[in-house]
């Protein structure tokens, strides 16, 4: 049956601190492990007051220390922001600390505005253009020791950390297929190319030393609660956040509201609902139906769920509800 995983951004909820956000991520990872999730990934974003996972490898170590079995990793590291050698060292260190548990998901977007991206790696355009070569370099740096190159990442060499390619476009589908890497599509915020990207990836996949057949993970935003009404209310935090992003307003993760009326314009409403059209929001019965339809349509091998919920206790309940649905779907299959 399809494994369920969690994508966390360490949201800094309105009225809270970064320390509280990182503590919430720790509790989320522990809850994910206790409820049988397969992976717990963290995403790299920069310059955003509502996200605390900018130093992604450090936060991965934070949740790794709090767990024992669940796979941990990045969903993803934005490689154009970094020298591949540095990422090899960081993830080689993580693999040494948490053997057999670490994933390295890679993205090509900067995860921020262009001014911040340039501050991160100065020449961001060159970083994006060299993305395929940087992935190959990372594979070499984390692969078997080969002194012939005269360059060793220590830690890193011999770690063989599994690399995933993340994407939201057809470019990423072509690249993941050509390199023979597992592919995670960001359908939780970029739905338009989902089915075409999956088809291209599967049709053009070339086996590699890491992977002998195509493997697709799809993403959804998920909010499960006792009732549809309560879940919709909790989801208004994510809707507000997307409106703020479109308005270039940077703020902490908003508290939920009873109604979005008066907060967004009709055009903004249509845009956000289109962007988030694969969101799975509702009671357990509602969520079960939506998940079954989505997974049946995509034929995905894995599902990763981002739970944009302001209140930590409500977020933890959503973790439990989705895990229970996964178990029910497994028994039904």
Show the 3-state SS of the chain. Answer: CCCEEEEECCECECCCCHHHHHHHHHHHHHHHHHCCCCEEEECCCCCCCCECCCCHHHHHHHHHHCCCCCEEEEEEEEHHHCCHHHHHHHHHHHHHHCCCCEEEEEECCCCCCHHHHHHHHCCHHHHHHCHHHHHHHHHHHCCCCCHHHCCCCCCCCCCCCCEEEEECCHHHHHHHHHHCCCEEECCCCCCCCHHHHHHHHHHHCCCCCCCCCCCEEEEEEEEECCCHHHHHHHHHHHHHHHHHHHCCCCCCECCCCCCCECCECHHHHHHHHHHCCCCEEECHHHHHHHHHHHHHHHCCCEEEEECCCCCHHHHHHHHHHHHHHHHHHHHHC
Range 153-159 average pLDDT: 92
Whole-prediction pTM: 0.94
Structure confidence at residue 130 (pLDDT): 86
Q: What CATH homologous superfamily does 4-218+314-332 map to?
A: Luciferase-like domain (3.20.20.30)
Task: Give the pLDDT confidence of 119-153 residue by residue, as tens digits.
Answer: 776 565 665 678 999 999 999 999 988 766 678 88
Range 29-40 average pLDDT: 98
Domain with CATH 3.20.20.30 in the chain: 4-218+314-332
Using the predicted structure, report yes or no on whether residue 32 has a pLDDT greater than 80: yes
Using the predicted structure, report yes or no on whether residue 330 has a pLDDT greater than 70: no
Range 303-316 average pLDDT: 98
Structure confidence at residue 278 (pLDDT): 96
Tell me what the pLDDT averaged over the chain comes to. Answer: 92
Range 212-221 average pLDDT: 98
Structure confidence at residue 152 (pLDDT): 87
Structure confidence at residue 111 (pLDDT): 56
More confident residue, 38 or 1: 38
Structure confidence at residue 145 (pLDDT): 80
Structure confidence at residue 122 (pLDDT): 53
More confident residue, 329 or 24: 24
Structure confidence at residue 59 (pLDDT): 98
More confident residue, 239 or 148: 239
Range 89-99 average pLDDT: 97
């Amino acid at each position: 049956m399809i494994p369920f995983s969690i994508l966390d951004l360490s949201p800094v909820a309105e009225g809270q601190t970064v320390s509280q956000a990182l503590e919430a991520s720790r509790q989320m990872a522990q809850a994910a492990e206790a409820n049988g999730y397969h992976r717990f990934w963290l995403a790299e974003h920069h310059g955003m007051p509502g996200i605390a996972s900018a130093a992604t490898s450090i936060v991965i170590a934070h949740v790794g220390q709090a767990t024992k079995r669940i796979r941990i990793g990045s969903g993803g590291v934005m490689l154009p922001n970094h020298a591949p050698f540095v990422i090899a060292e960081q993830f080689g260190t993580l693999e040494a600390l948490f053997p057999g548990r670490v994933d390295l998901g890679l993205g090509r977007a900067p995860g921020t505005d262009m001014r911040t991206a340039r501050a991160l790696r100065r020449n961001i355009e060159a970083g994006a253009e060299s993305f395929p070569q940087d992935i190959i370099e990372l594979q070499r740096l984390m692969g078997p020791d080969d002194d012939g190159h005269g360059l060793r990442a220590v830690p890193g060499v011999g770690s063989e950390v599994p690399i995933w390619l993340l994407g939201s476009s057809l470019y990423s589908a072509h690249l993941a297929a050509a390199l023979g890497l597992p592919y995670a599509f960001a359908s939780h915020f970029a739905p338009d190319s989902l089915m075409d990207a999956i088809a291209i990836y599967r049709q053009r996949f070339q086996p590699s030393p890491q992977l002998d057949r195509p493997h697709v993970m799809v993403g959804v935003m998920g909010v499960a609660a006792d009732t549809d009404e309560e879940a919709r209310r909790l989801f208004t935090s994510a809707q507000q956040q997307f409106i703020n992003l479109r308005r270039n307003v940077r703020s902490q993760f908003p508290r939920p509201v009873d109604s979005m009326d008066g907060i967004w314009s009709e055009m903004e409403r249509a845009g956000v609902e289109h962007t988030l059209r694969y969101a799975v929001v509702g009671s357990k019965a509602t969520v079960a139906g939506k998940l079954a339809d989505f997974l049946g349509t995509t034929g995905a091998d894995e599902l990763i769920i981002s739970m944009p919920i302001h209140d930590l206790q409500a977020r933890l309940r959503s973790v439990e509800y989705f895990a229970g649905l996964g178990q029910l779907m497994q028994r039904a299959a």
